[in-house]
Amino acid sequence: MQTQKIFKMATQAFIGLSAVSLLSVSVLAFYNPQSVMDLVAVKLTNNDAFSSIRGVYGGVGFTLFISLIYLLRTDVNKGLAFLALLWGFYAFSRLITIFAEGSLGAFGKQWLVTETLFFTLAMVLLWKNKNLVVLKTTK
């Protein structure tokens, strides 16, 4: 019973942390799109560029935040599956870049490690939560 509570809290904390992380970039993109692009040394040079960063990092990020909060409240396993896909494909995208364009800089390397860690954590929590549900229903 105690193990189940620990994994439930860990799952909720992980989903919450992921949601807040995405929200922080979203708010930053809405407020100052250039500051988001400064992280990767890209200069926005026209209004369409500003609009695109607001849309992708701001609008999509806020949509992801809302979706994660909804899943946190309604179905944490779906939330974990969603995060496994999200963080996994972020990491996969960086790996494609390594093979297609070459080595990443410090920013990209750090985020590859972070995204891989988050993908792994989502998978472990999802696996563990599903096993706990199976154990609970068979008792």
Q: Which of 14-23, 113-122, 128-137 has the lowest mean pLDDT?
A: 128-137
Judge residue 7's burial from the number of C-beta atoms within 10 Å of its C-beta, 0-12 exposed, 13-18 middle, 19 or more buried: middle
Judge residue 139's burial from the number of C-beta atoms within 10 Å of its C-beta, 0-12 exposed, 13-18 middle, 19 or more buried: exposed
Task: Using pLDDT thresholds of 50, 70 and 90, give the confidence band for residue 131.
Answer: confident
pTM: 0.88
pLDDT per position as a tens digit, 94-109: 999 999 999 999 999 9
- Is residue 122 a contact partner of residue 11, using CB atoms and an 8 Å limit? no
Among residues 94, 113, 114, the alpha carbon closest in space to that of 104 is found at 94
Cα separation, 60 vs 58, in Å, equals: 6
